Amino acid sequence: MKNNLKVLLTEEQIQKRVKELAAQITLDYSSVDNSIRRPVFICTLKGAVYFFADLTKNIKRPIMLDFAKLSSYRNGTVSGDMEMQSDITTDIEGRDVIIVEDIIDSGKTLKFFVELLKKRNPKSIKICCFLDKKERREVDMEADYVGFDIPCGFVVGYGLDYAEKYRELPYLAEILDPSKA
C-alpha span between 74 and 83 (Å, rounded): 11
Give ∠ CA 33-39-43 in degrees, rounded to 5.
155
CA-based end-to-end distance of the chain: 7
Catalytic residue among 54, 96, 105, 132: 105
Closest CA to 89 of 40, 36, 159: 40
How far are the Cα atoms of 54, 124, 144, 145 from residue 154, in angstroms, in the given order? Answer: 23, 32, 23, 22
DSSP-assigned letter for residue 144: S
105 catalytic? Reply is yes
Q: Hey, which residues does 124 pair with through a beta bridge?
A: 96
CA 147, 89, 57, 172 torsion-angle sign: negative
| Residues designated catalytic | 105
